[in-house]
C-alpha cells in the first residue's frame, strides 16, 4: 500500500524524476531539500523542490483491528528562473504520483516567484 517507507525514499524518487529540471545550489548539489532544516543560503536559481519532513495525515479504522494512516507528503516546487521547468516538472509529478488534492499554484509577481504545492497521497497500514 505505501510507496515510501521514509522521506528519504520520496526524496530519492523525486530527485530521479526531476533530475533534468532541478537547479543547483551554489555548492553544486541539486536543489531538492527536506525541510527542516532550511536549505543552504545563497543565490536562488533554477527549479527548487522542498519536501516537508513530516507528512500530513489522518488515521482511520480499518478491518481486523488495523488502522490506516492516510498520509500526504507535502512537496513545493519554486521556479527561480523564467523557463519551462515548472510546467515539465508539474506534468511529471501528476503522471507519476497519486495526488490527495488539486495542486495549489501561485503565479509569479514582482514580489513572488512562481510556485506550486502538491500533496502526494501515500497511505499506510498501522498494525495493532
Q: Residue ranges per domain, the chain?
A: 7-126
Assign domain 7-126 to its CATH architecture: 2-Layer Sandwich (3.30)
Indicate if the pLDDT at residue 124 is higher than 90: no
Overall pTM surpassing 0.85 (yes/no):
yes
- Residue-wise pLDDT for 21-75, tens only, equals 999 988 888 999 999 888 877 777 899 999 999 998 888 887 777 888 889 999 9
Q: Are 49 and 92 in contact (CB under 8 A)?
A: no
Per-residue pLDDT at 2? 63
What's the rounded Cα separation, in Å, for the pair 55 and 36? Answer: 12
CB neighbours of residue 36 within 10 Å:
9
pLDDT-wise least confident of 34-43, 81-90, 101-110, 117-126:
34-43
122: exposed, middle or buried (Cβ count in 10 Å: 0-12, 13-18, 19+): buried
Nearest to 7 by CA among 89, 57, 73: 73
Place of cell 495493532: 128
Amino acid at each position: 500500500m505505501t510507496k515510501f517507507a521514509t522521506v528519504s525514499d520520496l526524496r530519492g524518487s523525486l530527485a530521479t524524476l526531476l533530475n533534468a529540471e532541478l537547479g543547483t545550489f551554489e555548492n553544486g548539489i541539486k536543489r531538492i531539500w527536506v525541510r527542516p532544516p532550511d536549505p543552504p543560503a545563497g543565490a536562488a536559481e533554477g527549479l527548487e523542490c522542498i519536501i516537508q519532513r513530516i507528512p500530513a495525515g489522518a488515521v482511520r479504522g480499518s478491518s481486523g483491528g488495523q488502522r490506516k494512516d492516510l498520509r500526504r507528503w507535502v512537496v513545493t516546487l519554486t521556479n527561480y528562473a523564467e523557463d519551462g521547468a515548472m510546467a515539465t516538472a508539474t506534468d511529471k509529478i501528476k503522471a507519476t504520483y497519486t495526488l490527495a488534492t488539486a495542486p495549489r499554484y501561485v503565479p509569479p509577481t514582482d514580489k513572488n516567484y512562481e510556485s506550486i504545492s502538491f500533496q502526494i497521497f501515500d497511505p499506510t497500514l498501522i498494525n495493532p
